[in-house]
Structure 1
Amino acid sequence: MTRFREIIGEYESRYKVLRGVASDLEVYLKSYLTGVQRVDRVAARAKSPERFAAKATKVYEDGSERYPNPFTEIQDQIGARITVFYLSDVAKVEAAIRKYFKFIEVKSKAPLSDYEFGYFGLHFIICMPDDLIPDDSEEIVPEFFELQIKTLFQHAWSEAHHDLGYKSIRGLMPEERRKIAFTAAQAWGADEMFDELAKSLVNDNEPIP
């Protein structure tokens, strides 16, 4: 508990700066996506002090710290999300991000088994643009930020699933886990159907800006 209090105290002293950088990052991302159609929303946020401290104090089964140096090791202190209408729109946004930003990692997240349904999304770890870092805050602003690109259905499912995980009064029963998997399958199917319809019904030949 002592380490938790120390970390949350230090992070709270940085939080105002990180919130300002996140606000500027949101505007920055939007400027590079102006010509990309069917982007529903672009948002950026600084991780809250409580969630940062909770993540920073996680330990492995043997009791060792997952993040001995959390202020440099945790890469989603500032996170951004771009939500798009259809699956094929993810590729268009990805192309714009690859064109304009430097990144160190990109992962397409999906369940390990083809027979499973759950979280889907495209994640980037991107170098923080220099012109977003205030001159007196180089030691506070993290080197990287996390960017997630998701469809509306992927976003809706993951938000609901995340909320259940954080606010559940107990662990999920087997029947409840099956219900979660069932809703994930429905979201996946809706994405597939709408993307097929969009490809046949929507005239979409706009270039990447």
Structure 2
Amino acid sequence: MTTENPGPKGDDTDDEAVPTYLWNYARNFDNIQLASDDLNRVMFDVLADVSMSLFEVSSRAKSIRSFQDKAKRTVKDDQTGVQRPKYSDPAAEIEDCVGARVILFTQSDVKDFVKQIRARFDIAREPHNPGDHNHDGYDSVHVVINGFADDAHAQRFKHLRDYLAGRRAEIQVRTVAGHAWAAYSHDVKYKATGNMYAALDDKSAKKRVDLLFFQAAGHREALDLAFDRINAIIKPATGVIAPVEPQSSAEVSDAEPDSVCVRPHESNTTEFELNADEFYAVLEEHYPEFDDDTHDEISAALGRIGALHLDGERFGFERIRSVDDLRTILDLCAEDSERVTSLMDYQSAPSRIRRFDDDMLALVKDRYLQTAARDHVRGPVFELRLRRLRGKRSIYRIDGPEDAPTTELTGAATLRALVNLVIERGELNSANIDAVVSDDPDEQFRGRYVVVETSHGSVNVNSNMNREWIDSCIRELIVRWRRLTDEEIDVTRGGDSIGT
């Protein structure tokens, strides 16, 4: 079907009739772009929710030209042997018009992230890795989504919700090593202009290039394996979430302090005096600086409290049944507050419920984890947060200054701590680094930044950085520190100095 409308401006279609699907795509492109922006925010939201380290997140709406080129593709008909259009309805069948790419450091993080995506979205089909079929060295998990799994997320990201009402989007998840292979392979073999690989007349030369890429894939796999082994050493896993049977009081008394003693979500409401208003009033009192929560989030957290079974010998009671019990628990949480903040490395201010959940995971660990075991979204999220709270990602340390943090930190937290230390020894602009640190409040690094408060004022620090970039900035700040003061300072990562 065609239309007599001329093609969209800039599409070089002149006065030729344009297919309706292409015309509609061009007219709706602004909304498609908004859906892409929403998908990008969802990816960052998922990563922040589980405090997962990332290398890069990007999203894009397929350009009108790219959509047009893909829609024109043909395939050979199995019966007639004649080329026919690949897509009968391109707008509905092309699944990557809205797409996101998430690049993480390890294969274990890739698996964890895909698990989070499955919990939040309706999946069109099982996630797949095209490299498993092609055996060409490509390694990236493709997840095709066609809707949100719950109304809460759908309401937050309305542009993406509306887009997915009749179409699909694709999320690619890969490691840094896998991305390096894929990016260079694509640049060499499929670059639209200046493609020297395609121009090779010598077939043996092409075969040598193909062989080298295949060998490079082996090195990529070895690098992924090495990173996962490093991950296993510095980031101990908590194991999987699995429901357990209720235990007798005798069994409970002999259990490990952090072991689980009740079936998940089996709330004992006997003498349970807390209601939602009282519960949240105490959280507002304890966490005055954090963001508000929705009624659903408050109710869900209250349900987890009702399902929680505590170690009576440790806390003096086995259930949180009253405001006094809740305050007692929060006072204990406060003793570990600085460590929790450091380990979670929040990229933006958390809500009160988010912080309460993290404090409870830090305090009673698997017992609180188990209260979310049957929640398909919270369960996997809590599992990853607990891994982080057990210290798996904090391998940096600042030694020397008396006012430096005394605990191990993440790379991002170390960078912010050094920014503060340098400014305290100098001026507000002493730590300014192009694209990283700015004392200009309008410099917000595309919305991904953390405000660092100092005695001289506040600065914005980019929070969307990979480890190599962070380490280079740490070295720069150490150089500036030594220009400002004779005080000794050393920054280590995993015990090795990274200072200059």
Kept in 2, the 8 Å contact 1:95–1:208? The answer is no
For 1:86 and 1:138, locate their aligned partners in 2 and report how far apart those are by CA, in whole Å: 33
TM-score (norm 1): 0.84
Alpha-carbon displacement from aligned partner over 1:130-174 (angstroms, at most 9, x marks no partner): 444449x95897522111111111112112212223222425611
For 2:115 and 2:123, locate their aligned partners in 1 and report how far apart those are by CA, in whole Å: 13
Aligned identity (percent) is 23
- Aligned ranges for residues 113-132 of structure 1 at < 5 Å? 116-129=135-148, 130-131=154-155, 132=157
Match of 1:207 among 347, 370, 383: 383
**Structure 2 stretches lacking a partner, 5+ long:** 1-11, 77-81, 149-153, 201-205, 239-381, 386-500
- More deviation, 1-10/59-68: 1-10
Aligned residue pair count: 206
Q: Which has the higher strand share?
A: 1
Identify if the C-alpha distance between structure 1 residues 108 and 174 changes in structure 2 by more than 3 Å, giving closer, same or farther: closer
Alpha-carbon displacement from aligned partner over 1:23-71 (angstroms, at most 9, x marks no partner): 1221122212212422222222111222211111110132111101100
- Aligned ranges for residues 22-101 of structure 1 at < 5 Å? 22-34=36-48, 35-61=50-76, 62-101=82-121
Identify if the C-alpha distance between structure 1 residues 4 and 123 changes in structure 2 by more than 3 Å, giving closer, same or farther: farther
For 1:144 and 1:15, locate their aligned partners in 2 and report how far apart those are by CA, in whole Å: 15
Identify if the C-alpha distance between structure 1 residues 171 and 118 changes in structure 2 by more than 3 Å, giving closer, same or farther: farther
Q: CA deviation at 1:180?
A: 1.8
For 2:29 and 2:114, locate their aligned partners in 1 and report how far apart those are by CA, in whole Å: 29
- More deviation, 3-12/187-196: 3-12
TM-score (norm 2): 0.37
Which amino acid in the other structure matches residue 33 of structure 2?
R
Please tell me whether residue 194 in structure 1 is matched to residue 194 in structure 2.
no
- More deviation, 165-174/79-88: 165-174
SS across alignment from 1:67: coil
**Structure 1 stretches lacking a partner, 5+ long:** none
Q: CA deviation at 1:120?
A: 1.1
Match of 1:20 among 11, 30, 34: 34
Determine the structure 2 residue equivalent to 1:145.
169
Identify if the C-alpha distance between structure 1 residues 28 and 70 changes in structure 2 by more than 3 Å, giving closer, same or farther: same
For 2:115 and 2:35, locate their aligned partners in 1 and report how far apart those are by CA, in whole Å: 24
Which amino acid in the other structure matches residue 113 of structure 2?
V
Please tell me whether residue 110 in structure 1 is matched to residue 128 in structure 2.
no
- Which structure has the larger Rg? 2
Alpha-carbon displacement from aligned partner over 1:84-136 (angstroms, at most 9, x marks no partner): 111111121122112222112121332448xx55111111111244444449x
RMSD: 3.0
